[in-house]
């Protein structure tokens, strides 16, 4: 086989590998990922999407044992997965600490296996850390929040090592953009914003 043909084949393999990595959500060079669970992933995409330095937010499932789970399987509570978001960000523009702070202010850290109107282990709140630095920051943040005296109940949000993140079905991605009326109706009826205001005060307050 000629050298030109070998180089061509090698190039095609590299392109295929790059395409596969992109399909799996592998971040580009210089980017890092953070994974959070805070109940309905529709509602967790929006706050991270608005942060400068975040390049993508993907809804999906993690924390369980089932490979390639479907929404119906996760919603049943049988897979052990939680509805989650994977945030790809540029650490030169936004810190992991900032992402953790945004996470806290968009969940109810006092609810066990539930978030707002949604109940079940699939709706638990969790920080899925990747590496010791993320673990240190997440645990220190939780400890500081506990000691702040803001809440009269214990914080039950889990801080656990990340496992495989499985992207959700396409119709779930950026639902707040593709179905804004249904999204707002769901969010209002779920009482999410009312409860967040009780916990954290009015936005920007």
**Residues designated as active site:** 40
Token output for 15: 């392109």
Token output for 75: 């919603």
Is the separation of the CB atoms in 22 and 76 below 8 Å? no
HSE-up of residue 79 (Cα within 13 Å, Cβ side): 21
Angstrom distance (rounded) from CA 36 to CA 130: 11
Angstrom distance (rounded) from CA 184 to CA 197: 16
């Amino acid at each position: 086989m000629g050298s030109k043909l070998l180089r061509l084949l090698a190039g095609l393999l590299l392109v295929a590998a790059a395409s596969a990595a992109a399909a799996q959500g592998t971040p580009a060079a210089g980017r890092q990922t953070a994974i959070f669970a805070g109940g309905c992933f529709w509602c967790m995409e929006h706050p991270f999407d608005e942060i400068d330095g975040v390049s993508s937010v993907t809804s999906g499932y993690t924390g369980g044992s089932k490979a390639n789970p479907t929404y119906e399987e996760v919603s049943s509570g049988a897979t052990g997965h939680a509805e989650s978001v994977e945030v790809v960000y540029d650490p030169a523009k936004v810190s992991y600490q900032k992402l953790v702070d945004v996470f806290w202010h968009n969940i109810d850290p006092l609810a066990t296996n539930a978030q707002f109107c949604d109940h079940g282990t699939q709706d638990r709140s969790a920080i899925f850390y990747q590496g010791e630095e993320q673990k240190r920051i997440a645990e220190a943040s939780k400890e500081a929040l506990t000691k702040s005296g803001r809440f009269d109940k214990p914080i039950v949000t889990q801080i656990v090592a990340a496992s495989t993140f499985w992207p959700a079905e396409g119709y779930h991605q950026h639902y707040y953009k593709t179905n804004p009326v249904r999204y707002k109706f769901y969010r209002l009826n779920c009482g999410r914003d009312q409860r967040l205001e009780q916990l954290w005060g009015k936005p920007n307050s």
